[in-house]
Amino acid sequence: MTARFLYILFFFVWFPTLNAQEVIGVVKNAANGKPITTVHVLNLNKVVMSITNSDGVFVIPAEVNDTLFLSYLGFKTIKVRVTNDLLKFPKTEFKITELALALEEVIVRPYQLTGYLEIDAKNVPINRNQRYSIPGLPTGGYEAGSRGPSAFSRVVGSIFNPFDFLHNLFGKKPNELRKLKKMIENNALRDLLAVKYDRETLEEFLQLGSSDIDEILRNCNFSESFIRTANDLQILEAISGCYEEYKILSRR
């Protein structure tokens, strides 16, 4: 009886570790070894995010072979593959390197921002290009750029675009594109993307190149001005909306 009781106790103590694994790490500046606060740590597989505290420490759910993406303004982003050692030993150090170029010379965001997500997310300008709804489609319709006589004709023309292009892009990346819904619903990630303009995070999550993203937006009839000026959140929502419309139209 005693042996059985000990077995049951061991099972309940040990079993949660099978399902509730996490990486506990410390992010430091590679130049001076000092911890860095507010570094964004993203699990690209699980679409979850963590932020380092004042000691540079972060905790994030992860499993073996997940990929962590560490991002901080002015520093080179890094990707880390999760191993058994990372899960087993807490406080692993991750060192990131400061970018060589001055921030003023790198155009990553065309608007004056404070650096605080709660404030900047509210101050990001809203895209004001005209959009037209298409009956039967659940999203906001098509964005035709500035208002003008030819705007609506471009929208109508987009309906007759062949599906081959969207199928080739969306169909080749089914696992990555399933993350779209999770990304849209993750408020912390939305706040981060709302103040980013470099598309680096989107490219890593969706495993799409910048040229692929531009081509998706063009074939979904988004204007060149939107493609040039939209923040990462607006682009994410545009791709998500286009994908939903593609699924509905392809079923028909």
What is the per-residue pLDDT for 209? Answer: 86
DSSP string, 99-140: -SS-GGGS-S-SS---S-HHHHHHHSPPP---EE--TT-SS-
Domain layout of the chain by residue ranges = 2-105, 117-251
For 163, the 3-state DSSP assignment is coil
Residue 245: its pLDDT value, please? 75
Q: Give the Cα separation of 105 and 116 in Å (integer).
A: 21
**Alpha-carbon separation of residue 204 from 66, 142, 251 (angstroms):** 13, 26, 29
* Rounded CA separation 184/206 (Å): 13
Angle (CA) 32-35-41 rounded to 5° is 125
Neighbours of 137 (CB within 10 A): 15
User: Per residue of the chain (252 residues), what is the pLDDT tens digit?
Assistant: 455 544 444 444 444 444 459 999 999 999 999 999 999 999 999 999 999 999 999 999 999 999 999 999 889 999 999 999 999 998 999 999 998 743 444 444 555 555 556 555 555 555 555 554 444 444 444 444 444 444 434 444 444 444 556 666 666 666 666 788 889 889 999 999 999 999 999 999 888 888 888 888 888 888 899 999 999 999 999 888 887 776 676 665
CATH superfamily of 2-105: Carboxypeptidase-like, regulatory domain (2.60.40.1120)
Tell whether pTM > 0.85.
no
CA angle 4, 5, 11 (to 5 degrees): 90
**Which amino acid is it at 229?**
T
Report the amino acid identity of residue 34: K
Whole-number pLDDT of residue 182:
87
pLDDT score for 170: 62
Provide the pLDDT for residue 60. Answer: 96
**Residue 214: DSSP 8-state:** H
Ramachandran angles phi, psi of 126, nearest 5°: -90, 135
* Run of H or E residues at 19: helix 16-19
